Amino acid sequence: MNHKTINHRDTETQRNTLTEAVIGAAIEVHRAIGPGLLESAYETCLCYELRQRQIPFQRQLELPVTYKGIPLDCGYRLDIVVNAQLILELKAVERLLPVHEAQLLTYLKLTQLHTGLLLNFNVPVLSNGIKRILL
């Protein structure tokens, strides 16, 4: 086993640990307030939970898009980026659609991050509304 393999495993383990911690925070929010609210309410509550757990994050992070060397102001914003490693795309919809997955995948490509969570809070049990996307 070489050094690169060990580092890759360590990074993957850290990412999994972070993802599990975020999912735990999201489940706590869902248990407390349930489905049926606006996405912005879930975002505010999830940020509170992340802060309580001392998990670093950025909220509503601007995502610049460059086309042929020209920066474009497209108004894209990432809901939450956790520890500069994990993108959280929050939804409060009847069901997740392929377009939601494509949106998160695009965000991962544009940021060059590798892991994202699509979290749909409008479900009876949150575990049914979580989709992990890897780039």
Positive/negative CA dihedral, 68, 70, 76, 79: positive
Q: Which two tokens stand for residue 112?
A: 């060059």
Phi and psi torsions of 14, nearest 5°? -60, -40
pLDDT over 90 for what percent of the chain? 79
CA distance 105 to 117: 10
Q: Could you report the per-residue pLDDT of 8-42, keeping only the tens digit for each?
A: 566 778 888 999 999 999 999 999 999 999 999 99
Query: Span 52-74, mean pLDDT?
Result: 92
Positive/negative CA dihedral, 48, 50, 55, 59: negative
User: Which of 110, 41, 99 minimizes the C-alpha distance to 74?
Assistant: 110
Q: How many domains does the chain have?
A: 1
CA distance 26 to 119: 8
CA 121 from chain centre, in angstroms, equals 13
Its pTM stands at 0.88
Owning domain of residue 61: 3-134
